[in-house]
């Protein structure tokens, strides 16, 4: 039968079909896996950014809390009437001024009775937010420029007057009435550097935002600015958020908002923390994951083809041998067909050929 030899065998057709199925399934899985990888990458980025932002916020506030503990410990041990006796303690708190710029004790009328290195002793701080609020209870105040201390302390890194974060606690008499205030001015430059270093250590950039949406501690280019970003707007209303947006430096980043950051008994500043991570940081990991997926799909394709080959040899090859036996019998040959019981179809086919052979 010359025409029969031109037709592909069942074995070849089956292998071609298996290869086509493996290629189609592999291509579909590759597309689906890449889409899933992109979604997974976004979810991972959100989770990483949020976790790192939470960690940075806690570490930063823990450092501020250490200063707050000094304020809270000093308040019950001093008296405005004998404030000068606390001068040495105030001097030790300030040290070189890198972290705490000024520490002082003010009497009920606002007059400073003792201060670190004597700065502002005798001056009045009545009307200053830290003093007025400190008389009423524990207080943590937002960033502000130096007023009375502007001429006594060096300017900030940008040449502007030094800026402070305020911590204050009331000094109370035996009856629990406020008779004065202990106040610390935390150096804003130190806070800014500490936040930047802490954030950089975990691969993010962070900014602390107040209730008005102003960056109070953060990158120098954003300091004191109200940045028109969705994350900043969410931070100003204390809403948690994660969004991809383009920052003022032109870099598209995933931003995460941690609202209302706090730490233990530290009085609330009313801050939220905005952090961003550059998606390019995980590009290498993503490419590695895609390469591993491609290798897994290739390996699966090879296994499918091998399985198809084994299937063909075990189940299809016997049909070929039976077909050859049938051709030989039809040509008059004295051939006893191979008996095969691997499948019911093979057994029936073999039996039928045997019957035809015996009737000749």
- In tens, the pLDDT along 249-278 reads 888 888 999 998 999 999 999 999 999 987
| C-beta of residue 169 within 8 angstroms of C-beta of residue 267 | no
Nearest to 68 by CA among 19, 138, 6, 10: 138
User: What pLDDT was estimated at residue 43?
Assistant: 72
Q: What would the pLDDT profile of 5-35 be if each residue is shown by its tens digit? A: 545 555 566 667 767 776 776 666 666 555 6
What pLDDT does 283 receive? 61
Query: What's residue 2's pLDDT?
Result: 45
Using CA atoms, how far apart are residues 164 and 269, in angstroms rounded to an integer? 13
Q: Compute φ and ψ for 42, nearest 5 degrees.
A: -60, -45
pLDDT at 282: 58
Residue 261: the pLDDT is: 93
Q: Which residues of the chain have pLDDT under 70?
A: 1-15, 18, 22, 25-42, 279-290, 293-294, 312-317, 319-320, 322-323, 325-360
CA 129 to chain centre: 36
Tokens encoding 80: 């405005």
Question: What are the domain boundaries of the chain?
Answer: 10-40+285-358, 66-190
Strand (E) or helix (H) holding 35: helix 10-74
Q: What is the pTM of this model?
A: 0.71
Q: How far apart are CA 338 and CA 180, in angstroms?
A: 110
Domain 66-190 has CATH 3.40.50.150: no
- Among the listed residues 105, 102, 266, the one whose alpha carbon sits nearest the alpha carbon of residue 178: 105
């Amino acid at each position: 039968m010359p025409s029969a030899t031109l037709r592909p065998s069942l074995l070849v057709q089956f292998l071609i079909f298996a290869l086509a199925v493996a290629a189609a399934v592999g291509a579909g899985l590759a597309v689906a896996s890449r889409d899933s990888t992109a979604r997974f990458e976004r979810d991972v980025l959100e989770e990483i950014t949020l976790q790192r932002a939470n960690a940075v916020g806690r570490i930063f506030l823990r450092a501020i809390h250490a200063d707050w503990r000094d304020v809270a410990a000093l308040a019950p041990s001093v008296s405005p009437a004998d404030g000068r006796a606390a001068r040495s303690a105030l001097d030790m708190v300030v040290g070189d001024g890198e972290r705490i710029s000024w520490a002082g004790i003010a009497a009920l009328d606002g007059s400073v009775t003792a201060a670190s290195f004597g700065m502002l002793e005798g001056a009045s701080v009545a009307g200053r937010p830290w003093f007025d609020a400190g008389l009423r209870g524990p207080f943590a105040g937002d960033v502000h420029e130096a007023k009375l201390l502007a001429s006594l302390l060096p300017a900030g890194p940008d040449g502007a007057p030094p800026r402070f974060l305020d911590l204050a606690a009331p000094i109370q008499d035996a009856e629990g009435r406020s008779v004065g205030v202990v106040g610390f001015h935390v150096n804003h430059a130190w806070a800014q550097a500490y936040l930047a270093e802490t954030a950089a250590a975990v691969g993010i950039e962070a900014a602390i935002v107040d209730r008005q949406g102003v960056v109070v501690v953060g990158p120098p280019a954003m300091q004191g600015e109200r940045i028109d970003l969705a994350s900043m707007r969410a931070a100003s209303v204390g809403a948690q958020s994660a969004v991809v947006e383009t920052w003022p430096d032109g870099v598209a980043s995933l931003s995460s908002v941690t609202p209302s950051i706090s730490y233990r008994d530290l009085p609330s500043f009313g801050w939220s923390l905005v952090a961003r991570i550059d998606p390019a940081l995980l590009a290498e990991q993503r490419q590695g994951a895609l390469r591993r997926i491609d290798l897994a799909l290739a390996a699966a394709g090879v296994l499918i083809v091998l399985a198809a080959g084994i299937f063909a040899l075990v189940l299809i090859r016997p049909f070929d041998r039976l077909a050859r036996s049938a051709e030989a019998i039809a040509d008059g040959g004295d051939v006893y067909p191979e008996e095969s019981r691997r499948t019911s179809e093979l057994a029936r086919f073999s039996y039928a050929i045997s019957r035809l052979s015996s009737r000749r």
